[in-house]
Amino acid sequence: MRHRTIGSAPATRREVSVLALGAMLFGSRTDEDTSFAILDRYVEAGGNFIDTSDNYAFWTDGGQGGQSEELLGRWRRSRGIGDEVVIATKLGARPLAPGTGFVDNPEGLSAKVIQESARRSRERLGVERLDLLYAHIEDRTVPVEETVEAFAGLVAEGAVGLLGVSNHAVWRVERARALAAAAGLPGYEVLQYQHSHLRPRTDMPSGLFPEGSLGHAGAELLSYLRAEPGLVLVAYSPLLAGAYTRADKPLRADFEHPGTPARLAALGEVAREAGATVNQVVLAWQMGSGLPIVPLVGASSVAQLEESLAAVDLELTEDQRARLDEV
């Protein structure tokens, strides 16, 4: 397994595997035995970068989430896992009450919530310090300064190592980072956005993003990544929940546009040439990019994980990469 560095400060930066594992459904739809088997195999293969959130997976039982963090805590204790495995979690999108959601009733990003939610995540995970903590979704009811100072306070206390941000407009990310820098405070160093080879329309509103998709790593965010070499992008849903290869997993409506067929054809062509699956080509394309991108894959079985792990050793030719980039 290859690794890359996230973070800049010597005290908090970490070496993480180039392929991250998402634990979103562990402890809910994916039972404990299967979850443990996937986690064990990932670590055995050299993986050490696991992703969760304090609201995973509230939608499976109408609750508030926390199942994934709790399962990871049990797994860590049962396997004697320590600092060698980096666990990232998020706050800000946990429903405030059972039966509600993160769109209509989120916990938000106030200083009080950040302190309390980070403490609960540490308790569920069984750690003294969260390796990486993300602001999960925007909260425009709270001044950016308050959020920046609250996250920095956690770092100062030793409760958090690295800071990250997910699903925010790029201008708000830059504003928060600029405020932190001006005040001499730690700021966001890891970005987490949806990114794959297929490109969605970004002008289609949703309940979470009424202005269009702020959760997708579009041209503006990728340009920002190029301009700021200290940043790393963790790309969630790189395999589009199975839509590349499974007939029972149709593409979302925002991928239904004239550009999609050509990109699918290019992926299929390269996959045939490389003797690989389309999923593996997508992951190899991301990992071999000139940009610091870490694909974040989910798995509901060890077999699914094995397919993704095999992509780490898949080397695309310059010609294949050019065709994928230019289509």
Distance CA 199, CA 217 (A): 9
Residue 17 banded pLDDT, cuts 50, 70, 90? very high
Q: Whole-number mean pLDDT of the chain?
A: 95
pLDDT tens per residue, range 165-222 = 999 999 999 999 999 999 999 999 999 999 999 999 877 765 556 555 678 899 999 9
Tell me which residues are annotated as active site. Answer: 56
Banded model confidence at residue 20, pLDDT cuts 50, 70, 90: very high
Of 37, 87, 97, which Cα lies nearest the Cα of 65?
A: 97
* Beta strand segments in 52-145, E: 86-91, 130-135
pTM beyond 0.75: the answer is yes
| Structural tokens at position 232 | 């790393």
Half-sphere exposure of 22 toward its Cβ, with a 13 Å CA cutoff?
Answer: 24
* Mean predicted confidence (pLDDT) in 134-161: 97
What pLDDT is stored for residue 204 in this prediction? 74
Cα–Cα distances (Å) from 2 to 225, 260, 295, in that order, read 21, 31, 13
Residues 189-220: b if buried by 16+ CB within 10 A, e if exposed: bbbbbbbbbbbbbbeeeeebbeebbbbbbbee
Is the separation of the CB atoms in 278 and 267 below 8 Å? yes
Residue 104: pLDDT over 90? no
The confidence score (pLDDT) of residue 211 equals 59
Helix axis angle for 111-125 and 67-79, nearest 10°, is 40
Domain boundaries in the chain? 3-250+284-315
Q: How many Å apart are CA 18 and CA 4, to the nearest integer?
A: 6
- Kindly state which CATH superfamily the domain 3-250+284-315 is placed in: NADP-dependent oxidoreductase domain (3.20.20.100)
Radius of gyration for the alpha carbons in the chain, expressed in angstroms and rounded: 19
Q: Write down the pLDDT at residue 203.
A: 79
H helix intervals, 29-125: 32-44, 67-79, 111-125
Integer Cα distance of 172 and 92 in angstroms? 15
Poorest-confidence range of 7-11, 41-45, 145-149, 158-162?
Answer: 7-11
Residues 221-277 have pLDDT tens digits of: 999 999 998 999 999 999 999 999 999 999 988 899 999 999 999 999 999 999 999
